[in-house]
Chains A and B, each alone.
Chain A
Amino acid sequence: MGRPVEQLSGGPVLEEVAGWGRHPVGRGRVERPEHLTLPAGVEPVVPRGLGRAYGDPALPSREGGLVLESTRADRIRSFEPATGRLHCEAGLSLAEILRVFVPRGWFPPVTPGTKFVTVGACVACDVHGKNHHRDGSFGSFVDRVTLRVADGRLVECGPDRERGLFLATLGGMGLTGLIVEVIVRLKRIESPWIVLETQGMASLGAMMEGLRLSAAHWPYTVGWIDCLARGADVGRGILMRGRHATHVEAGTRRARPALPLRVPFDAPEWLLNPLLMRGFNRLYAWSHGTALRRRVVSYDRFFYPLDAIGEWNRLYGRRGLLQYQCVLPRAAGSPPVATLLERLGAAGAASFLAVIKDCGPASDAYLSFPMEGTTLALDLPNRGAATEALVHELNAIVIANRGRVYLAKDAVTRAEDFARMEPRLGEWRAVRERWDPARRFRSAQSVRLFGDPA
């Protein structure tokens, strides 16, 4: 949550508004209504959820711009126990869905690496998770999205209705209209527990092969990579694969209440110096070895390890971080992934969090991020121009291999680079032109990437 920084005499309170990476930082007039309505007039609006996107997609397009935060519009409209269909307002969070529905045997069909995201944001970013190779992204489970479009009308869209608007809204970063309500299909689970297998992988080749082989039998797969390893060790790390435990496997386990850990202040930047991060990554790799381990863990530990540490983004210091996530098509194979990792290693810029995952086929949604291939995500501590230059360099590798970057993580990609990554951009622009010709919905990101007026 931003903090109020200024109250003009009788005027609105402006708050600092940033993504989860805490860079860049804008200032806006943040409204958190219990009803998501569009104010009368023509003032530009940026929709925002819980602020977990990293870069600038939920920042106002200009100083003092209106930010419409959905978190208080969080009512459930209905739930059908026979089918798992959940109809809710856009501000409902996955954390709340888990809290309410896991005890009843239901689970979000797709979840990103944090549960502190709203359903509206899951649609707007068309989020993916550890099951993308099998189930696709969040949008595959969405039956209906209700939008308040730029002219003030309420429009329902879905796979079978206003399909163009639907496909532009999934992954459309909130730029097609204000997402007001969503109908999503939850999935049945037998227990809140996860059967987890982990195995050390000695190289990138082994990791990618491990992901490929696991994909056939495991609904959830992911790899953690020591991205500071060099030479033959590039890509070494730990492969994790999981599935929901059965009643029998879960046994009589009871969840332990989580300790309320929180990072109380901004860490000094030397804490993340390359040597320390290398130590951390090595330790993580060594503690595991190449043995196969199998155990039963809580869903929180499997899906949301970082959520256990409140405000962990403060570990990156006052300047924050840039997260970089790209996907490279299957046809490109492992060489470009290795190139990216080597480039990061040489720059000494990467941190302890590097995640690799194989994706299934791309969705029909125009700006949906995943495509069949390999995605890589990592944190880059923000060191200003050097970090931005590194991102542009990585982007060049991605473009050369016909991959793309994830807008929910992006803060610095150039408009021309994004256009070269996204062949469906023209179709998306056409739909947006139809529903919001005046660009009522715009963000700092859309100004940067799509040429919107500030």
Chain B
Amino acid sequence: MKVAMVGATRGMGRALARRLAERGDALFLLGRDEPELALSARDLEARGGPSVSHARLDLGEPAGFTAALDAADQALSPFDALVVTGGLFARQDELAADPARLAALLHANFTGTVLLCQQAAERMAARGGGLVCAFGSVAGDRARRSNYLYGASKAGLAVALDGLDLAYRDRGVRVLCVKPGFVRTAMTAGLPVPPLAGEPDAVARRVVAAMDAGRHQIYAPGIWRVVMLVIRALPRAVMRRVQF
């Protein structure tokens, strides 16, 4: 694959990019922080990836998407997969207290990510097909009082990805929505670690397998599919009472 990737510098994205590079996939990194992108590019090259270059992209600035995708096309001549692991995260109390921060998170995680995926899908469809893979969250499967704002951004994204898959599969573009459960990364540092927490590398392996198998949605770690099945089935009265 020739993969344009948003979020490869950190956490699950870093682990996923390494898995892809090590098996020989060509990568082009997109993100906000160019020194960071350069560091990750060198890491991926040393791990066996062919030459990895990068360009600036901010999920909060859709005006820059065309130029960023052009750069990816030029480097990978052209890309046939877009992977978006990047996004914003903050605790519920931080978002509730800061409307500007909340707006930025909703904008990047939903509006920006949907626009980018849509744009990339259209490009790839026009040249015969490809893959879009973006990270939702189990937080988007059912609202919880402790993180419904972040969850809402991911819920909206999941619906958009689901629809994107329906709309573009005939034109050769597959769409994979990954819904991570709690995974130990720098993003979740400081949060209480629940049972069934996952590790980024295990998530990465699972995502690569799902990409290859043409799945349209996976949970990672896999056990979260069952957990969310139960949580989605909980009566409203129960959700009102639980404190998490």
Contacts and interface: CB of A to CB of B under 8 A. Distances in A.
Given A75-B39, A76-B42, A100 B48 contact: yes
B46 interface: yes
A62 interface: no
A12 interface: yes
Contact of B43 (A12, A31, A33, A76): A76
Interface string A391-426: 000000000000000000000000000000000000
Contacts of B192: 4, 7, 13
A40 B59 CA distance: 30
Sorted nearest first, the 7 A-B pairs with minimum C-beta distance are A76-B46, A75-B43, A79-B46, A76-B43, A34-B186, A100-B47, A75-B39
A75 B189 CA distance: 19
A76 B185 CA distance: 19
B208 to A, nearest CB: 15
B10 interface: yes
B46 A33 contact: no
A32 interface: yes
A230 interface: no
B132 to A, nearest CB: 26
25 contacts: A4-B193, A7-B192, A13-B190, A32-B186, A32-B189, A33-B186, A33-B189, A34-B11, A34-B14, A72-B185, A72-B186, A75-B39, A75-B40, A75-B43, A76-B42, A76-B46, A76-B47, A77-B42, A77-B43, A78-B42, A79-B46, A86-B46, A100-B22, A100-B46, A100-B47
Nearest to A13: B190
A74 B47 CA distance: 12
Contacts of A104: 48
Interface of B: 10-11, 14, 22, 39-40, 42-43, 46-48, 185-186, 189-190, 192-193
A223 to B, nearest CB: 36
Nearest to A92: B43
Given A72-B185, A100-B48, 9 more contacts: A12-B190, A13-B190, A13-B192, A34-B10, A72-B186, A76-B42, A76-B46, A77-B39, A78-B42
Contacts of B39: 75, 77
Contacts of B43: 75-77
Contacts of A72: 185-186
A4 to B, nearest CB: 6
Q: Which of A7, A12, A72, A78 has the most CB of B within 10 A?
A: A72
Contacts of A4: 192-193
Contacts of A12: 190
A93 to B, nearest CB: 11
Contacts of A33: 186, 189
Nearest to A29: B190
A442 to B, nearest CB: 23
Contacts of A3: 193
A217 B186 CA distance: 47
A72 B185 CA distance: 8
A226 B121 CA distance: 66
Q: Which of B39, B43, B46, B186 has the most CB of A within 10 A?
A: B46
Nearest to B9: A34
Interface string A71-114: 01001111100000010000000000000100010000000000
Given A32-B186, A33-B186, A34-B10, A78 B193 contact: no
A7 B192 CA distance: 8
